[in-house]
Amino acid sequence: MFNRILIANRGEIACRIQRTCKRMGIQTVAVYSEADKDALHVKAADAAYCVGPAPVRESYLNMEAILKAAKDSGAQAIHPGYGLLSEKESFAQAVKEAGLVYIGPPPSCLNAFGDKIRARAVARAAGLQPPPGTDGPVDANDGELIAREAERIGFPLLVKAAGGGGGIGMQIVETADKLTRAIETCSDRGKSAFGDPRVYMERYVRNPKHIEVQVLCDQHGKGVALFERECSAQRRHQKVLEEAPSPAPFFSGIEGEARRTKLLADALNVVQSVKYEGAGTVEFVASAEGELFFLEVNARLQVEHCVTEMITGIDLVEQQLRVAAGEPLSAEVLAPKQTGHSIEARIYAENPLKMFAPQPGRLDKIVWPASGEDVRIETGVQEGDSVTPFYDPMIAKLVVWAEDRAAALAKLDRCLEGTQITLTGPAGPSTTNLEFLRKLAQTSEFAAGTYDTTTAETLAKALKAAAK
């Protein structure tokens, strides 16, 4: 096992990784931008290195500075967390060439799944079915091809950036006259965010559910699917409430259990087809009737990994470390047991009534509910810190567990009600999404498990109309 690792990330995920490392007796090295010099993840580390000014591209994406920090600090391995460099094949390769261990999938797996077009081909070869779409990128200047492919696939369509993620470079298109412009826009976004202007098209499943499976594989050919999560509560194609297991009606009864069993097997099959190592998530989009299509593989830890940990008792960060160190998955991990229900709420400094616009400001007051085995507060900030415009405005993740879903919902509501956050922006008092999260979890659709990826934004529009 490692004695010291560097965490190439910031905020709550850096603090989350540090917590497991401390329990395992592993020292941690933090990296930080000039804007984060007093951040919680910096204070909690055994050593810390500045890697550049505030902008992400000049600091947390500065591979050369991060690798130098790892070498100078004596770290044996690098954990990328999620986002930032976590799915960048060139970074994983550079870590390996520097004589360090990359705590994540090998570069070949990042290559297989980092390109969404290539991932669709990998999935089909493994027997999974992605939504009908193009087999390669489309060019906004090739009107004849666009028209022919759009007619074959059928509207509504999704235009998606090939190198995308997190909802970036993705647009729903209902009619042919909007298609060319959508391709141009998504291409520009893809080039800006990922350095990849390629886009492709696939059929948009109306009122879709977003279901994903947590997988874990070692270096010895063994792997396991750690059940599914439901992540359909989204705004701007980004998740705000996640839960495990999924409450979707199409998973109920004998037929539903068969569908779930096949889903887990499919998820494990697609990653093992490329000799995957470490933790990862296989994502699916589902129709209301339970028709499941392969969406993508996130070859890293997910923001919502906590709900899987809560229902299995398995520390996924610990397993990542053990796999990277060459250890086989234990018999207990390979035969997981699912207990109870867990829900995670992402608390953001944002205004749901203004299209969820980020709300930078100073965190003057933070009061969390009592935490313990059944309530987790995952955060990288404390009172007096600021939510800056440089980074994602997430303040914390509130994660609850209970013996059943009804009890978990009630606990989530109590915990959200007991959370107090005072945020002061440049022009005075600012806002968070705390109250919106409570209202979303209280909707009849969420209670029934029938909510989909449109539910959160529909609620936001209704609240905005009522506030006028």
Catalytically active residues, by annotation: 300
Which tokens hold the place of 327?
A: 């250890």
Q: How far from chain centre, in Å, is Cα 101?
A: 23
C-alpha–C-alpha distance, residues 116 and 173, integer Å = 19
C-alpha–C-alpha distance, residues 211 and 191, integer Å = 28
| 222: exposed, middle or buried (Cβ count in 10 Å: 0-12, 13-18, 19+) | middle
Which residues share a beta bridge with 326?
Answer: none
C-alpha–C-alpha distance, residues 356 and 351, integer Å = 5
C-alpha–C-alpha distance, residues 52 and 431, integer Å = 30
C-alpha–C-alpha distance, residues 18 and 174, integer Å = 45
Which tokens hold the place of 355?
A: 């299209």
- Contact by Cβ (8 Å): 269, 465: no
- Contact by Cβ (8 Å): 35, 10: no
C-alpha–C-alpha distance, residues 32 and 53, integer Å = 9
